[in-house]
Amino acid sequence: MGLDYYQIKKNIRRARKLVIWGTNAAGSGHPGGSFSMAEILGCLFGRHLKFNPKDPQWEKRDRLVLSKGHAAPGLFSNMAVAGYFPESQIQTLRKFGSKLQGHPDLKCPGVEFCGGSLGTGLSYSVGIALGAKINSEDHHVYTIIGDGESNEGQVWEAAMTASKYRVDNLTAFLDRNFIQQDSYTEKVMPLDEILDGDDLSEMWKDASRWKTGDKWRSFGWNVIEIDGHRVEQIDDAITRANATKGVPTIIISRTIKGKSIEHMEDNPQWHGKAPDSDIVPIINLELDSQFMIAPSIIAGDMTNLENEVKRCVSGRADYVHLDVMDGMFVSTKTFDHTKIKQLRTLCILPFDTHLMINEPVKHVRDYVDAGSDIITVHAEVTDESSFGEIHDLLRQNQVSVGLAINPDTELPDWSWQFLPSLDQLIVMSVVPGKSGQRYLEETHAKMARLNQVLCENNFSGYIEADGGINLENIESVFADGARVFVGGGAIVGQDDIRSAIRDFRTVALKSRRQALLDRAHQLGGTDLINKWINLHIIGKKQEQLKQIAQEAGYL
């Protein structure tokens, strides 16, 4: 079974947009803490939580307790995406008579805990987990607590109780975003080390400063520490937690308050603040413009692909891109599913498998079984019938579905019916099977044509740019609509893969900022441009945005 990576990612994006919609309609609420736990909830609802939205009180359901109750918009948005109630009801958030109050309330079917007073959720969770064990009930309790909330002594009393009674059917997440209502957590009541300045980057990245895990270990808990925005790490941590017997588990998730919206990220002002209506369209565009980097390991040492996968991990890639060539569809031959199965044991990064092979319908099952998370086949060697069979097989096995087209291929008419459910479209910008090629400039015009078709057919997936992508053209390719960038020689071919990936991100980020400024100018001219820029008060973002706006002639 695959990770169902893109389905989870798309649901997370949907849920974030609903948070923005709801808090804007209410004129109040807490988007920052909702966004920091967005990937955690996305993985729970999308993959691990047993629930039935048509029967919220189903006895065998897992229990989800949101102890940091002010992040209710994040919970409600995921419940809406999961089908507990229509997404349109999000606009009733925090209104009189609505079941979607400012904190979770049992008036909303599917809510397990009235979260208001901080510090009480873990105690409640220990109680229902212990009750389930006493009654031999087979369900799991998942609890999300905040790091500011951890100032409360009751959290630690509950931690001792859970350990004493060995409630191994309880998994807690610590949303470790380093910000609480008044300030940065390390300035109020440090869980790690005292923070002297306002730069959270060192606190977030430097493992030698992390003390929180030691505290929980001393209370007798199984501790797992992860990047709380990496879907694959969350998924792996939940799987390991559920397999741990005899002790409760806490997953300490390093997160970013306001994640995915630059002016909200690491900004204490957005603990509890609603976005203005004029910036909501720009925020939605920013959410649609998140991007991923996928190094192609065949650009490295083909005699030691194991090391190339490890380099992708150390370089903090989003995916490992696996180009499978059979020597028939293209003249080159690389490797097949047996090698992918060997590589799968090396890491948990999503495997983005690009099948450049004849008759993929006959072989796709092998690549599912090998551990691929995303599988893309070519339109040139499929038709409506065979792609439909591939599509259904991948869906049944929670593998994301991709379709690729070569430079001289247009998107076939038969494929349009699949676009609403397609996860990834690879637009080849070089002739496949030959290394060292330059990006074909005519791909830009092709992307313009494709965008119209994709929009008209409700495509909500991701466009992956593959072939000749480098630092010189990634800006324009991003502007074309690509959101996943395959890097061969420009990434894997470099000695320092981490620096290469960081440079890719830097240039793509500049292109995204340009697109957001363009949108602000379109909607509100110079006034909205200045308003948007002035929201970015953390770090050097404001200066960088001003420079981009000046270069574009907006200021």
pLDDT beyond 80 at 243: yes
pLDDT beyond 80 at 254: yes
Provide the pLDDT for residue 24. 98
pLDDT beyond 70 at 524: yes
The domain locations on the chain are 5-266, 288-513
CA distance 238 to 250: 10
Provide the pLDDT for residue 127. 98
> In sequence order, which residues have a C-beta less than 8 Å from that of residue 231 and are 6 or more positions away?
3, 5, 8, 9, 12, 39, 42, 43, 350
Predicted model pTM = 0.97
Provide the pLDDT for residue 199. 74
What is the pLDDT confidence band of residue 540, given thresholds at 50, 70 and 90?
A: very high
Stretch 246-263: mean pLDDT: 97
The percentage of residues in the chain with a pLDDT greater than 70, rounded to a whole number, is 99
CA distance 241 to 311: 27
- What single DSSP character describes residue 333? B
What's the longest Cα–Cα distance across the chain?
68
pLDDT beyond 80 at 201: no
Provide the pLDDT for residue 361. 98
Span 3-16, pLDDT tens digits: 999 999 999 999 99
Single out the residue of 358, 361, 373 nearest to residue 322, CA to CA. Answer: 373
Single out the residue of 102, 94, 15 nearest to residue 66, CA to CA. Answer: 102
Single out the residue of 519, 520, 501 nearest to residue 509, CA to CA. Answer: 501
Fold of the domain spanning 5-266 = Rossmann fold (3.40.50)
Cα 255 to chain centroid distance, Å, stands at: 12
For β-strands 374-378 and 222-227, DSSP reports them as unpaired
CA distance 255 to 205: 11
The residue among 433 and 20 whose pLDDT is bigger is 20
CA distance 153 to 124: 14
Residue 70 tokens read as 């002010």
CA distance 104 to 119: 14
Stretch 291-296: mean pLDDT: 98
Q: Tally Cβ neighbours within 10 Å of residue 531.
A: 15
Span 169-185, pLDDT tens digits: 999 999 999 999 878 88
Provide the pLDDT for residue 202. 67
Q: In 3-state terms, what secondary structure has residue 388?
A: helix
CB 373 within 8 A of CB 351: yes
Stretch 375-389: mean pLDDT: 98
Provide the pLDDT for residue 480. 97
Residue 372 tokens read as 């691929």
Span 52-108, pLDDT tens digits: 999 999 999 999 999 999 999 999 999 999 999 999 999 999 999 999 999 999 999
Stretch 157-176: mean pLDDT: 98
Provide the pLDDT for residue 194. 77
CA distance 38 to 16: 7
Span 432-467, pLDDT tens digits: 987 778 999 999 999 999 999 999 999 999 999 999
- Least confident among 120-124, 191-195, 221-225, 477-481: 191-195
Cα 22 to chain centroid distance, Å, stands at: 21
Provide the pLDDT for residue 522. 98
CA distance 481 to 464: 9
Provide the pLDDT for residue 208. 79
pLDDT averaged over every residue in the chain:
96
Helix 153-164 × helix 121-134 angle, to 10°: 20
The residue among 1 and 16 whose pLDDT is bigger is 16
What is the pLDDT confidence band of residue 51, given thresholds at 50, 70 and 90?
A: very high
Sequence letter at residue 426: I
pLDDT beyond 80 at 195: no
What superfamily in CATH does domain 288-513 come from?
Aldolase class I (3.20.20.70)
CA distance 52 to 44: 13
CB 334 within 8 A of CB 526: no
